Amino acid sequence: MIKGLPAWAAAALIALPGAGAAAGPWPAEGTVEVFFTPWDDAEGALLRAVRQARRSVRVQAYLLTSRNFARALTEARARGLAVQVLADQEMASRGENSLLPQLHAEGIDVRLEVRYAAAHNKIVLIDAEGDDPVVVTGSYNYSYSAQARNAENLVLMRGAKPVAAAYLGNWLRHRDDAVPFAPAPEARVP
């Protein structure tokens, strides 16, 4: 069993073909929406999904510079939801516009993935343990450019419990390998 995975989700993973690898195919379940930027409002769909969350929001990000997305996560935390963020350490250290320090300062659990050359996942899991989970994935980085300048895709799956269980298991595995975020020390002026 994967540490932190609810029993029902572990049972769903075991029941899947290729148990542990979480490989599909799975029977059709739930709904799927797709968005292609810059034409579609992928950011709006993402923000609506986060604002509808009832229990938890878990993020896996390569880059997180979108003020709107950071605000939605902060608002979810203020509503009492469990909000956790995993991010690529390299991008966090290089990204001068990274909003990870702000999220950390707001009390959101932020961890950095250090094990990989690039932690390139772009995933949001909303209420993954519940009866109506939401999985958001695709090439879409959580940035202004992803919506306005880039050609990106975002896939939003609602109610697909086996898919949510597989993503949650993988997210927890990555969380267990990640290190807590530590803000850079403030530069001291002599």
Q: What is the pLDDT of residue 8?
A: 42
Selection from 2-11, 21-30, 61-70, 125-134 with the highest mean pLDDT? 125-134
- Report the percent of the chain where pLDDT is more than 90: 61
pLDDT band (50, 70, 90) for residue 16: very low
For the stretch 93-137, pLDDT in tens is 776 788 998 999 999 999 999 888 787 899 999 999 999 999 999
Complete domains list, the chain, with CATH = 30-180 (3.30.870.10)
Q: Convert the pLDDT of each residue in 142-174 to its tens digit.
A: 988 889 999 999 999 999 999 999 999 999 999
Residue listed under structure tokens 């799956």:
157
Nearest to 158 by CA among 187, 127, 185: 127
Q: How far apart are CA 21 and CA 10, in angstroms?
A: 12
Q: What is residue 27's predicted lDDT score, i.e. its pLDDT?
A: 76
Number of residues written out for the chain: 190
pLDDT at 9 over 50: no
Return the closest-CA partner of residue 129 out of 3, 8, 1. 8
CA torsion through residues 129, 137, 157, 47, sign: positive
Is pLDDT of 187 > 70? Answer: no
- Chain centroid to Cα 105, Å, comes to 18
Q: What average pLDDT does the segment 18-42 reach?
A: 80
